[in-house]
Amino acid sequence: ASDAPAQEPVVELGDMPGVARVQLEGSAALELDYGIPEKMAARIGVGTRVMVPLQNQKVPAVVIELLQSSEHRGKLKEVSSIVGSRPMFTPGLLKLADWVAEYYIVPVHRVLRAMLPQAVRDKPETFLTDSHLKLVKEPPADVLEKMHARAPMQARVIEELRRRKGEATLSELRRDLPSATTVVKALLKHGWISRSEIRVERDPFQTEEFLPTLPLTLTEEQQAAYDHVIGALQKPEEAKPILLHGVTGSGKTEVYLQAIAEVLKKGQTALVLVPEISLTPQTIERFKARFSEKKDSIAVLHSHLSDGERHDEWFKVQEGRADIVIGARSAIFAPLERLGLIIVDEEHEPSYKQEDTPRYQARDLAVLRGRIERCPVLLGSATPSLESFQNALMGKYDLVRMTKRTDGKSMPLIRIIDMRLQRRKGTGTTIANATILSEKLRTAITTRLEKKEQTILFLNRRGFHTTLDCASCGEVVQCQDCAIPMTLHKADNRLVCHICGARRVPPTKCPSCKEPGLKYGGFGTERVEAAVREVFPKARIARVDTDTMQRKNQLRDTLRDFRAQKLDILIGTQMIAKGLDFPNVTLVGVLNADTALNIPDFRAAERTLQLLIQVAGRAGRGELKGEVYVQTHAPHSPAIQFSRHNDFEGFSDQELEHRRAFKYPPYSHMVLVSSRGKHETQAEFTLQTLHKRLLQGLPDGTIMGEPTPSSLSKAHGQFRFQLLMRSDRIRPLARHIQTVMETLSPPPDILVTWDVDPVSL
Ligand code: ADP
Ligand code: ZN
């Protein structure tokens, strides 16, 4: 199978797999066969990335199959080179890629690209290296003395090495001796030292210390949950995915940790998915501390790593040096082998959905990857997604409940405050006509300050004022590129668009009618901070949102200070809603529970309930009893009423009934087709055309709406239209959409996208 003429490589097929079927990474979803040169045969496997000739170029591709022979027998071009020293995809991941491609209607090469972090794809195996230096001969005293006189730097390096017990890295030496590189060369030449190249991991937690923790004695409920998982680990072929519905504080993480310990004992690996926002130092610390003797075998993958760190963490997994991977949604593609357990924490979190092509749902892929790799999957949440909960009710998943907190305390008391009354009575903390703190909440904070207990105030909006409008003509000052009001950020006195980030100096006259008398309204965290400082001038206050947490480690430091009780009140956005555990917090105030209720999405109620229950879970985690105040203008809405009693199941009964009646997910699959572009009519027309074509041959049982402007009707200067489809069965619909899309050639500046199982409309 070798020695083909140089000009036209030809493979003659013997018994060895001489042919690699590859999927090109770059262009269309194209599978091609290439011959494998004999010298590469041992190093090419399924999942190996290679460069192959195509037309007059060399392009990257992934080997998806090895064949003895090919239909194109006789005249195959050969693989040009191999990328990296090991396969980049496991067989399981290649299967997953095919499934994603079909289900989400995406060409498979786009899926393969998305599976590798960019730094891994673009610069594979570019590790940082360092020189490890060793003193091999001790220069005798007289030699050293001469050295001091003639080459003092050399003498210093020798002494430095001695001080470090004869070993150091070049970069360590260079910290004190910038010229060490040249000096070292001279010493090498004279044979005093030896050098070897070592790889340096860019470890995001290099400087962190982790105090080891021991497994806790499980509560009865935890034990039952744990036993259930262990049962699944023993019979992975029969195991169904497990939905662990555990109230906040019921100790889900402890169950995860102990189950993982069991997996590691069996010589297998574990994958833990966590929403990006909960990938806080605190979460990672809990894992690193429990498995402290193997903490280097924990790989962390999320978007706040530097490219280099992500590259190194990924290769740690690929080279088989990681037993546990903790990561955000894309970590579902981590190339772990011997997978023993996949855990998805806070499985209801919308951030598991990837919002760019391929628009996958990592939680669903976890279930699928579990099936492919025959390993159990554990989904955990205090407020499961209705999709997962419905699967559990139908018996597709096992349902395990943990209803009590580990400390045996009851859930915090939730008080609903009707802000409509506050406004009418004119009580509460009012600044420029907006009530930010109700009187009751203000009193509650005062009590906490007196008792030296802590308060969290939650508001899912950044900025100072959230609207600016004209008193004369009613014009709302909007972003020119996006159809949303701009938010005033007072710290730098700019109006900011929270969609595209556009900034401008606030106008003093109405941009439309030119009258003065513009009025600000609404409030965000910045204004809450100002109000709270005004009302409680002596309190120690910090605000946590993306505006204040710009500096690296600032979030970590602030949370640390709060935990150490150097702060009394923490004000923040969703950055503080999830997974944080502060024993001295006895009061949580939700300043406006209605922001999530008012989104034009059939999941508005579900989102509101999730948020309230999560936020409420931050109160009363320690010895002290917690209280939650929820300020709302819609006190009787089901989401607010059910969250008040922490009654997820009551809510889901009612909400599922409603979803069933209207055939919304989980009683159907939804596909959201959108068009967008700078020209409004073109964007609309494109979608109307598409709508007409989709109508023809629409699979039975599909409900299709009309094209309408999206709820965000303009963003980044582009008009947006959408079309919603629902069906019991996704596959026929997906195939239909794919076929129709292939016939569609939208104008060049109109982008048409589709999203299967969208999480926000
Ligand atoms: P969840 O993730 O369900 O909200 P956590 O795992 O954060 O709950 O646990 C809540 C608190 O209870 C943590 O402080 C944890 O250390 C503690 N905890 C968990 N399990 C136990 C146990 N078996 N005994 C005592 N404390 C526990
Ligand atoms: Zn904008």
pLDDT per position as a tens digit, 529-582: 999 999 999 999 999 998 888 877 888 899 899 999 999 999 999 888 766 778
Give the residue carrying structure tokens 């972090």.
Answer: 117
Which protein residue has the closest C-alpha to ligand 1 atom 10? 249
Q: Which two tokens stand for residue 108?
A: 């498979």
Residue 219, ligand 1, Cβ within 6 A:
yes
The answer to whether the beta carbons of residues 77 and 52 sit under 8 Å apart is yes
CA separation for the pair 602, 711 (Å, rounded): 12
Q: Which ligand is nearest to the CA of 714?
A: 2
343 membership: H or E segment, kind and range: strand 339-345
Q: Which of 217, 253, 615 to mutate to test the pocket of ligand 1 (most atoms within 8 A of CB)?
A: 253
Could you tell me which of 63, 60, 180 has the C-alpha nearest to residue 130? 180
Cα of 128 to ligand 2 centre, how many Å? 40
Cα distance from N-terminal residue to C-terminal residue, the chain: 56
CA separation for the pair 142, 144 (Å, rounded): 5
Residues 6+ apart with CB under 8 A from 392: 243, 245, 384, 398, 399
Q: Count CA within 13 A, CB hemisphere, residue 572.
A: 25
473 belongs to an annotated ligand binding site? yes
Q: Count CA within 13 A, CB hemisphere, residue 312.
A: 19
159 membership: H or E segment, kind and range: helix 152-163
Q: What is the pLDDT of residue 579?
A: 63
Q: Count CA within 13 A, CB hemisphere, residue 139.
A: 22
Q: Which ligand is nearest to the CA of 498?
A: 2
Give the residue carrying structure tokens 């309230």.
Answer: 612
375 belongs to an annotated ligand binding site? no
The answer to whether the beta carbons of residues 193 and 133 sit under 8 Å apart is yes
* One-letter amino acid for residue 636 of the chain: H
Cα of 114 to ligand 1 centre, how many Å? 35
Residue 217, ligand 1, Cβ within 6 A:
yes
φ, ψ (nearest 5 deg) of residue 198: -125, 155
Q: Count CA within 13 A, CB hemisphere, residue 675.
A: 28
Cβ neighbours, 10 Å, residue 692: 11
The answer to whether the beta carbons of residues 750 and 682 sit under 8 Å apart is yes
The answer to whether the beta carbons of residues 567 and 561 sit under 8 Å apart is yes
Length of the chain: 761
Cβ neighbours, 10 Å, residue 69: 14
307 membership: H or E segment, kind and range: helix 307-318
Question: Measuring CA to CA, how many Å separate 356 from each of 264, 327, 714, 715, 754?
Answer: 34, 18, 18, 15, 10
Q: Max CA-CA distance within the chain?
A: 95
Low-confidence residues in the chain, pLDDT < 50: 1-14, 432-433
The answer to whether the beta carbons of residues 679 and 686 sit under 8 Å apart is no
Q: What is the pLDDT of residue 651?
A: 97
The residues whose Cβ lies within 5 A of ligand 2, an ion, are: 479, 481-482, 497, 499-500, 502
Cα of 476 to ligand 2 centre, how many Å? 14
596 membership: H or E segment, kind and range: helix 594-597
Could you tell me which of 627, 655, 741, 620 has the C-alpha nearest to residue 386? 655
Q: What is the pLDDT of residue 428?
A: 58
Cα of 713 to ligand 2 centre, how many Å? 12
Cα of 715 to ligand 2 centre, how many Å? 6
Cα of 377 to ligand 1 centre, how many Å? 21
Q: What is the pLDDT of residue 72?
A: 66
Residue 246, ligand 1, Cβ within 6 A:
yes
Q: Which of 406, 581, 585, 614 to mutate to test the pocket of ligand 1 (most atoms within 8 A of CB)?
A: 406
